[in-house]
Amino acid sequence: MPDYWAQAKQELSAVDPVLAGFISRYDGEVLATRGDLFFTLLRSIVGQQISGKAAAAIWDRVVSLVGEVAPHHVLAHPFDELRECGLSNSKTRYIVGISEAFQSGFGERRWEDLSDEQVVAKLCELKGVGVWTAEMILIFTFLRPDVFPVGDLGVVRGIERLYNDGEELTKAELLDLAEGWRPWRTVATWYLWRSLDAEPVEY
């Protein structure tokens, strides 16, 4: 469990009655990490712009094919074989490119010394990795406490449903609403996801 989780739950519950309800309902659940940057990067690439159910099915096929999710295992398979897992051509290229970068040492740096913004900038150097994917890494691999992925469809829809009667909100309005959750926007985001999904979100 992240060392800040209990404090974050207490403080968010005090300032936001909507979140307080979900925090109480899912009291025994927490954000979990594999601590595996490469795994989470590939899992996030698979999940881009498709439903969670579709992403899970494709990911299961990828794992069945490669076994251990490691660069050399991915690169042991031809492009077409990876593509047949249900990946698009572009996602297959991204996965191969990320595997090549990690095999060349991309992941071997002191990520803990970088700010959230620096981590995002570094990860976005990888082809296929955008801000949303980098934010998933900040949340699920590095457990950074104050990440608010304003481009995440689940987060946006959750906020609109819970705070605005399902009506659309602008990015500025979303960011403004989330200001009240600082410095625990990661925790608020996790509970928003939890309010929408039958199982806790994992990457």
Residue 202: per-residue pLDDT: 75
Give Cα 71 to chain centroid, integer Å: 20
113 labelled catalytic: no
- Residues 87 and 128 placed together within one structural domain of the fold: yes
Boundary-marking domain end, from 120, 140, 160: 140
Residue 92's pLDDT band, with cuts at 50, 70 and 90, is: very high
pLDDT digits (tens, 9 = 90+) for 129-177: 999 999 999 999 999 999 999 999 889 999 999 999 999 999 999 999 9
Bond before 183 cis per omega within 30 degrees: yes
Give Cα 110 to chain centroid, integer Å: 20
Owning domain of residue 86: 37-140
Q: What's the CA gap between 25 and 19, in Å, rounded?
A: 10
pLDDT digits (tens, 9 = 90+) for 51-60: 778 999 999 9
- Residues 59 and 74 placed together within one structural domain of the fold: yes
Q: What's the CA gap between 8 and 3, in Å, rounded?
A: 10
Taking residue 92's Cβ as centre, other Cβ atoms within 10 Å add up to 21
Q: How many domains does the chain have?
A: 2
Boundary-marking domain end, from 97, 123, 140: 140
203 lies in some domain: no
- Residues 111 and 187 placed together within one structural domain of the fold: no
Tell me which of 152, 165, 176, 197 is the catalytic residue: 152
